[in-house]
Amino acid sequence: MKTARTGWLLPLICLVVALPALAVDVPLDDPALEERARHLMREVRCVVCQSQSIGESDAGIAVDLRRLIRAEIAAGKSDDEIRNFLVERYGDFVLFTPPFRAETMVLWIGPFVVLGLGLAFMIRFLRRRPSVAMPSSLDAEERQRIARALGKDGGENAA
Amino acid sequence: MHRLFFILPLVVVLVLVAVFWRGLDPARNPASISSALVGKPVPPFVLPGLTPEMPGLGDADLRGQVTVLNFFASWCAPCRAEHPLLKELAAVPEIRLVGITYKDRLADSLRFLAELGDPFAAIGADETGRIGIDFGLTGVPETFVIDRDGIVRYRLAQPIDEARLADEILPLIAELTR
């Protein structure tokens, strides 16, 4: 009987405890804008917990940046404007996809250069192989030895 | 060409040794982010003081003389740890030490300063952390050295320690105030 009367208490406590979390991340009213905001949040690295995006992180600064991105989008800023805003303050590092520039060239082109080198070596190696390939056919003496080994001429078996 | 094939593994190994050797350097922190603000003017801002009587802080106050700007909060334990070194900095006559409280209640900041002493010539209160974002702050404490023209010359995204104060901050101040 006692549990029946106090059964509503646990959900209420959970709700009250969770309220601050809800208040922090208020989604935008327009679902299209909210989708844009979420997309941006996945692109932006959390500067404290660096392998997470700000969309995934509970760090204080990530929460602040989420709020800021929503505010900027609501204020009519474009995605690029918001990206530039963040890069000006936190550097290229804040974007998971770094911009294509002289300093980031190695990042973008490096893997393809390594792949190209690997392919070049592989092609060289494969081209070389035919030159060391085995003779195309057996000569007369080899054919005789095989015939002997296979027992067509019994006398040679022991030798 | 054939000889190259024999040398190649050795070259690869040497390159890897160099890369890993660099990775073993204890002074290197792969998680540290070079500040986007170094070499640029301080972002424009105006912040109120902790009480109506106390002076606030704005970017205009950071020009004209070499300034050390420290972001801190009462809830931040490392801020407490570096506080004695801030007092040492405040004693350097050529500079002005100013502070910004980051996401801290005004009453808590005041209590923190009453307990440990207030080394700052002026303090701005950034209760929402919005100005912190303009400074590219990743947390507190962080310390910036700003030259006479209001250009950020140095940023330390961790507590000040004796070694950094002696080897990095004080020499830079000496250079900037010359």
- The verdict on a CB contact (< 8 Å) between B138 and A61 is yes
Number of Cβ pairs < 8 A linking chain A and chain B: 42
DSSP state of B122: E
* Separation between Cα atoms, residue A98 and residue A106, nearest integer Å: 11
Tell me the shortest Cα–Cα distance from A104 to chain B, in angstroms. Answer: 15
Q: Taking CB atoms and an 8 Å limit, are A91 and B130 in contact across chains? A: no
Burial B126-154 (b: 16+ CB within 10 A, else e): beebebbbbbbbbbbbbbbbbbeebbbbb
pLDDT at A159: 45
Rounded to an integer, the average pLDDT of B120-130 is 95
Is B133 within 8 Å of A65 when comparing Cβ atoms? yes
Classify domain B38-177 at the CATH superfamily level: Glutaredoxin (3.40.30.10)
Confidence of residue A135 (pLDDT cuts 50, 70, 90): low
Is any Cβ of chain A less than 8 angstroms from the Cβ of B31? Answer: yes
Task: Name the least confident of B8-17, B73-82, B105-114.
Answer: B8-17
Q: Is B13 on the interface with A (CB under 8 A)?
A: no
ipTM: 0.78
Could you tell me the residue ranges of all domains in chain B? 38-177
- Return the CATH architecture of domain A2-94: Orthogonal Bundle (1.10)
Distance (Å, whole) CA B93 – CA B148:
15
pLDDT score of B174 more than 80: yes
Mean pLDDT of B55-70: 95
Q: Does B4 contact chain A (CB < 8 Å)?
A: no
What's the pLDDT band for B26 if we cut at 50, 70, 90?
confident
pLDDT at A154 over 70: no
How far apart, in Å, do the first and last CA atoms of chain A sit?
100
Contact yes or no for B129 and A87 at CB 8 A: no
